[in-house]
């Protein structure tokens, strides 16, 4: 097909979508780097307002509705890549994925909805492979730092003829709040899992996103309670993103023919400190999780819904830029040596860093010479070293080993 654009940003009038557009315009259009792109959404007035605010009148506008297949087909026929921030994806993403596959457009999103990703994998993976299309979920804070972090670690270990037997990711520091879109997606997952036990089984199965013939291994369910960690020698609380991140890492391993090793164990949690103080902090850090993951109609959930940001809301520019995250990966290699690697982000994870990661993922899909893999993919399988380079050179991420 004759494509007009390299990338179209769908959901450009939303909070994160606007940040993606601002990033692309500032770092590509204004720097005169060749990139043909457009913005898309349902409301022409909102799109025009966003364009005035973060871009210029030369950036085209496309009207598209997530529930209207004809409008989606018109969109996907025009571009090489669709970059979408329109969630919850279980509500708004399925027709777009189908349209992208039918019209040979690659796709990236911010989905962290395991039950929906499971559905998309089972329904569309083989068709996307046949059509030579890359459908790439989790291109934000969930799950690029985890997925690309493990990818980086294993590449570096192989240079010294070593491999990892276990990798435990620990959130060692973070400044920033959960995004309104992420919270809306989480609420959608909670509602569906409370109403349908089969969805709970998908979410709780460590290997639910693996190919059907590779959905097994020695990994346990994600950490769900306060515990002492003998690896990092710290107290831990559950990490809310672990539910998706761990499954994405395992899917990457399976799709790469177990290039990380069939016996690799992987888990994630949040560090709260050592000793008695660390234990107290663990309880304090766990309190927000109780509200966020409360049953849908409970009093706790009603309180959380009032406190948490709504889709379209977000922090100020100063708040985004003062944010950061520091992830430590405790690695036990085949020589039983303990090695620590880090992934560090230079802005708040939910908005500033996520918008940069998503934008670079879209541009990577559009412009770079990528691995020949196709189907419903993870970021590392779809884009590999090309994305790793973009994240470090452009998106403010640092991947390194502790020396």
Give the pLDDT band of residue 323 (cuts 50, 70, 90). very high
Identify which of 268, 288, 270 has the alpha carbon closest to the alpha carbon of residue 278. Answer: 270
CA distance 16 to 276: 39
For 334-355, how does the pLDDT look when each residue is reduced to its tens digit (9 = 90+)?
Answer: 999 999 999 999 999 999 999 9
Strands 375-377 and 234-237: unpaired
For 37-60, how does the pLDDT look when each residue is reduced to its tens digit (9 = 90+)?
Answer: 999 999 999 999 999 999 999 999
What are the structure tokens assigned to 367, written together? 């412009």
Identify which of 357, 345, 359 has the alpha carbon closest to the alpha carbon of residue 12. Answer: 359
Q: What pLDDT is stored for residue 357 in this prediction? A: 98
pLDDT at 277 over 90: yes
Q: What pLDDT is stored for residue 8 in this prediction? A: 98
Give the pLDDT band of residue 301 (cuts 50, 70, 90). confident
Cis status of the peptide bond prior to 216, with omega within 30 of 0: no
Give the pLDDT band of residue 379 (cuts 50, 70, 90). very high
For residue 258, what is the DSSP state?
S
The label of the residue with tokens 């880090």 reads: 342
| DSSP SS3 for 296 | coil
| DSSP SS3 for 397 | strand
Percent with pLDDT over 90 in the chain: 81
| Chain center to CA of 155 | 21
What is the helix (H) or strand (E) element at residue 9, kind and residue range?
A: strand 5-10
Other CB atoms within 10 A of residue 168 CB: 19
* φ, ψ of residue 283 in degrees (nearest 5): -65, -40
For 126-156, how does the pLDDT look when each residue is reduced to its tens digit (9 = 90+)?
Answer: 999 999 999 999 999 999 999 999 999 999 9
pLDDT at 326 over 90: yes
DSSP string, 90-144: HHHTHHHHHHHHHTT-EEE-----HHHHHHHHHHHHHHHHHHT-EEE---BTTBH
CA distance 345 to 353: 7
Give the pLDDT band of residue 300 (cuts 50, 70, 90). confident
For 306-315, how does the pLDDT look when each residue is reduced to its tens digit (9 = 90+)?
Answer: 888 777 778 8
Give the pLDDT band of residue 190 (cuts 50, 70, 90). confident
Identify which of 92, 86, 179 has the alpha carbon closest to the alpha carbon of residue 141. Answer: 179
For 87-133, how does the pLDDT look when each residue is reduced to its tens digit (9 = 90+)?
Answer: 889 999 999 999 999 999 999 999 999 999 999 999 999 999 999 99
| DSSP SS3 for 348 | coil
Kindly report the average pLDDT of the chain as a whole number: 94
For 226-268, how does the pLDDT look when each residue is reduced to its tens digit (9 = 90+)?
Answer: 999 999 999 999 998 999 999 999 999 999 999 999 999 999 9
Q: What pLDDT is stored for residue 162 in this prediction? A: 94
Please say whether the beta carbons of 139 and 109 come within 8 A: yes
Please say whether the beta carbons of 9 and 361 come within 8 A: no
Percent with pLDDT over 70 in the chain: 100
Q: What pLDDT is stored for residue 141 in this prediction? A: 95
Q: What pLDDT is stored for residue 1 in this prediction? A: 64
Report CA-CA distances (Å) from 148 to 56, 60, 203, 254, 381. 33, 32, 22, 15, 9
Beta bridge partners of 332: 166, 338
For 76-85, how does the pLDDT look when each residue is reduced to its tens digit (9 = 90+)?
Answer: 999 999 999 9
The label of the residue with tokens 């409301």 reads: 43
Give the pLDDT band of residue 381 (cuts 50, 70, 90). very high
First-last CA distance in the chain: 50
């Amino acid at each position: 097909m004759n494509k007009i654009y390299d990338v179209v940003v769908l959901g450009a009038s939303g909070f994160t979508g606007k940040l993606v557009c601002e990033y692309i315009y500032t770092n590509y259009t204004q720097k005169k780097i060749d990139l043909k792109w457009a913005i898309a959404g349902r409301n022409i007035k909102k799109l025009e307002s966003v364009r005035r605010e973060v871009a210029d009148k030369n950036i085209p506008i496309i009207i598209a509705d997530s529930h209207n297949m004809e409008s989606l087909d018109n969109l996907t026929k025009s571009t090489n890549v669709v970059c979408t921030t329109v969630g919850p994806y279980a509500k708004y993403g399925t027709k777009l994925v189908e349209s992208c596959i039918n019209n040979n457009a690659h796709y990236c999103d911010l989905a962290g909805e395991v039950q929906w990703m499971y559905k998309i994998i089972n329904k569309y993976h083989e068709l996307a492979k046949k059509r030579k299309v890359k459908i790439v979920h989790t291109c934000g804070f969930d799950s690029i730092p985890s997925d690309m972090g493990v990818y980086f670690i294993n590449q570096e270990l192989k240079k010294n003829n070593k491999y990892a037997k276990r990798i435990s990711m620990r959130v060692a520091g973070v400044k920033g709040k959960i995004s309104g879109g992420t919270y809306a997606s989480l609420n959608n997952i909670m509602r569906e899992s409370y109403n349908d036990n089969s969805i709970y089984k998908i979410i709780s199965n460590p290997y639910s996103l693996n190919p059907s013939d590779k959905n097994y291994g020695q990994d346990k369910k994600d950490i769900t309670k306060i515990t002492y960690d003998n690896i990092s020698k710290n107290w831990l609380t559950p990490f809310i993103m672990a539910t998706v991140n761990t499954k994405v890492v395992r899917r990457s391993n399976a799709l790469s023919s177990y290039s990380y090793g069939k016996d690799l164990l992987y888990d994630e949690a949040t560090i709260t400190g050592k000793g008695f103080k660390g234990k107290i902090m663990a309880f304090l850090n766990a309190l927000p999780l109780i509200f966020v993951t409360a049953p849908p109609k409970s009093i706790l959930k009603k309180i959380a819904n009032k406190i948490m940001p709504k889709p379209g809301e977000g922090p100020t520019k100063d708040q985004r830029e003062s944010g950061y995250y520091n992830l430590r990966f405790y690695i036990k290699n085949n020589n039983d040596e303990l090695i620590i690697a880090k992934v560090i982000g230079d802005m708040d994870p939910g908005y500033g860093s996520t918008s940069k990661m998503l934008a670079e993922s879209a541009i990577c899909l559009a412009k770079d010479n990528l691995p020949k893999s196709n189907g419903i993919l993870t970021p590392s399988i779809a884009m590999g070293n090309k994305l790793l380079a973009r994240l470090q050179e452009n998106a403010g991420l640092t991947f390194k080993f502790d020396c």
